[in-house]
Amino acid sequence: MSDTTDPRKLPSADPHTGNRRVDPITGYDTTGHDWGGITELNTAFPKIVIWALALTFLYSLVAWILLPAWPLGRDYTRGILGLDQGEQAIEGLRELTDDRLPWLSRFSDGDLRALQSDAVLIRQAMPAAERLFEDNCSACHGATGRGGPGFPVLADGYWLWGDDPGGIAETIRFGINSDHADARIAEMPSFDWMARADRLALADYVARLPGAGPVHSSLPGAALFTENCAACHGDGGRGDLEAGAPSLTDDAVIYGQDRSTVMETLSRGRRGVMPAWIDRLSAAEINLLAIYVYRLGQPVGEGAQ
Ligand code: HEC
Ligand code: HEC
């Protein structure tokens, strides 16, 4: 191979004289620059780097088409392969937890009563259930289901919907007033059409209901209540109609049962939203939570160990 065909040896010239200068040791041309006796070899840009750049550029074009790539405001181009690493990661995590908790799969079958009476299984599962509740539910329902204004207490054994783990699982699965088609629906209509004096009489009546016992029927406002409210809240506000309308006779309040809060409930109406979890938690996790939440409402020693 002669020197002139070696691509690395490009002709170069002394910028001052125009003559080629060749490095005597390597045989390469030099750029002609000389820094106190140190000269620079005139070598070509390595082809392999150019190829690597070209290939990565081509890959990026293909990747734009196949994979999620460009942001479009709130969305992004999804690519024709339909791969979503976020979903894959969640799926992977779910498999990991299912693996790590070999007992969890037992909760995916629906016989919650049988599961609940398996004391060994329950003892094993409750710490994980507690964490699941903290991660997903406590933001609204408070740690250990203590509730808060607008969010019902889950630890009092009083249920708006379904008072067994199966019914509770259904509430968790589909939610209440959620955007799921099978959601439970519970709406307290607004009574702002009603004369203010009547609303005040009702608010007084409702505020006095907790602990009133059978006397309630002789309280002022009782007739108005029977006429307008009992269809949903039951006679004397005892609730328990499996329609999501709370009892008004006990201490389990969602929004508050003092006169001014009841006035607000009457004028605005209420429509609390409990989200649906069916797409966010596995069937086993939902059943596990249903049993956990049910047990929160059980007196210690009974069912809870
Ligand atoms: C964004 C707030 C929010 C989150 C998060 C939430 N809930 Fe709820 N939940 C509510 C509201 C509000 C209600 C009451 C709806 C109503 O007013 O009818 C409710 C009601 C319920 C009920 C019905 C209570 C009854 O008396 O029948 C259960 C059971 C329940 N939630 C369990 C859970 C569990 C378990 C989780 C976690 C997976 C959870 N919730 C997460 C807001 C929430
Ligand atoms: C169509 C059924 C329906 C009727 C009629 C109705 N309610 Fe309600 N009420 C509900 C539902 C459902 C809730 C729970 C709403 C929620 O959780 O967001 C509720 C909630 C309430 C609450 C809040 C309870 C709490 O725990 O904070 C009060 C107070 C109340 N209703 C009083 C009344 C009074 C008084 C009347 C009659 C003037 C009345 N309701 C008529 C369905 C009804």
Each residue of 206-230: pLDDT tens digit? Answer: 999 987 777 777 788 999 999 999 9
- For residues 27 and 8, the answer to whether their CB atoms sit within 8 Å is no
- Rounded-to-integer distance, Cα 141 and Cα 145, Å: 5
- Give me the pLDDT at residue 241, please: 67
Q: For residue 117, give Cα distances in angstroms to 121, 145, 172, 276, 299.
A: 9, 22, 21, 27, 16
Q: What's the N-to-C CA distance of the chain in angstroms? A: 88
- The confidence band for 258, taking pLDDT boundaries of 50, 70 and 90, is very high
- The confidence band for 16, taking pLDDT boundaries of 50, 70 and 90, is low
- Give me the pLDDT at residue 23, please: 82
Ligand in nearest proximity to the CA of 266 = 2
Nearest CA, atom 34, ligand 2: 229
Q: Give the model confidence (pLDDT) of 127-164 as tens digits.
A: 989 999 999 999 999 988 888 888 988 988 888 887 88
Output the CA 136–ligand 2 centroid distance in Å: 27
Q: Give the model confidence (pLDDT) of 161-200 as tens digits.
A: 878 899 999 999 999 999 999 999 999 999 999 999 999 9
Output the CA 232–ligand 2 centroid distance in Å: 7
- Give me the pLDDT at residue 303, please: 43
The per-residue pLDDT of the chain, averaged, comes to: 85
